[in-house]
Amino acid sequence: MTEPAEVAAAWEKFCGELRAFGEELCALAPVQDATHHAEALQFVTRTLRAGLDFRLDNYDPRHPRLIWWDRACAGAAPSAPNVDNSYVIAKIDGRETYRLTVPLDTIDELNLSIHGRYYGQPDSGPAGVWGNVTLHELKHNGREVQVILSAKPQDRENWLEIGEEARFLFLRLYYFDWSKGRPPALELTCLSANEPAPNSIPPENLIGGLADTMAWLRSHILYEQQMAIGSFLKRSKGERNAYYAADYGGVAPPAYRYGNVEFELGPDEALVMEFKPPNARYWCVQWHRMPWGDSADFFNHITSINHRQGHVDSDGLVRIVVSAKDPGVQNWIDTEGRRTGLMFTRWFWADAPAVPTCQVVSLSDVRSLLPGDTPNFGSQARAEQMAVRRRHLQLRY
């Protein structure tokens, strides 16, 4: 039987390690001032919320609970999170049988994958991945889709065979049209579980959950920041404002291609990205803050543009203006006044990725790079654009 002193010791250890890790991250901040320390610690607390939610409230894979990961951490995780989708996760046991139900009326696409280890924690289990299926690959009635997950064969529609070592469900839900998109009412049921769920968390699960959360927090932040974000920065070799071609990074579904630009802009400068839209079910351009790769402030700034939101010019090209000040065009991405950031392009389910050209100009010269018939986008249009985004994001976060 677990003693109260063991629970108290686990809590004391957790708090001490969290304090030390916060100090470590502050030391890694690029500029040693109060703002950078505050952002580093905010990033830790946001990521920590998701870790605690997953490990303390979702400890029993026979009675699984779906965790809206990006909601729990306010867009801090996973690394370089895509604002066009929700990330939903759950603990599972590959020896059990599960049914996942996803209503379809408010989403545009999904990707379902099952993993043998936890995201961002490479030492947490075997590296097996099963599925990576999309809505296009599943049979459904147009209203909802059901998927059965098990290692044992099932004579059911949409059976996804997984390994007995599977332990982590990872569901991406995509919203292309933010005017209608909202989180669906998901359901995950363990069909093979017969015993009732426990009334509260067992002490040993609390002790193990705190230890696992701290191990994951350190691994996720340091490993992802160094490996995932660092891999994109290495491609640029220190060059700023230049596009580096999209590639499969090995950490996402095979149909995903990521490109990047590390921008550096003055207060009156703009980066103009120009490309022919790829033949793809989905594309977007979004930027992330440095050095953690977390989301910029998407509630109060336009930090992304996808294929449903962007304006295509009369010559068939898309031109996106990245700047601190509003250039008066629809395809504006707001840098929040920050000098640097990491721009991601996502070309998903595409015949071939687009290859944008990039040019830094004075903000006053932006219009000279656009076709003459590119429409003006005034303050009223911008307010309406922001209202659509805020309504959608309020439902998700």
Provide the residue type at 202 as one letter: P
Q: pLDDT (tens digit, 9 = 90+) per residue, 33-64?
A: 888 888 889 999 999 999 999 999 989 999 99
Helices and strands (H and E) in the chain: how many = 6, 18
Which helix (H) or strand (E) segment is 271 a member of?
A: strand 269-275
In this structure, are strands 98-103 and 85-91 parallel, antiparallel, or unpaired? unpaired
- Please list the residues that pair with 161 across neighbouring strands: 150
pTM of the model: 0.94
- Please list the residues that pair with 68 across neighbouring strands: 88
Within 8 A by CB and 6+ apart from 26, the residues are: 36, 37, 40, 41
Structure tokens that stand for 57 in this block? 């409230």
Yes or no: say if 139 and 157 are a contact pair by the CB < 8 Å rule: yes
Domains in the chain (CATH in brackets) are: 4-221 (no CATH), 237-396 (2.60.120.1600)
pLDDT for position 110: 97
Yes or no: say if 249 and 237 are a contact pair by the CB < 8 Å rule: no
pLDDT for position 300: 95
Q: pLDDT (tens digit, 9 = 90+) per residue, 202-260?
A: 999 999 999 999 999 998 888 766 765 666 667 767 789 999 877 765 556 878 898 98
pLDDT for position 330: 97
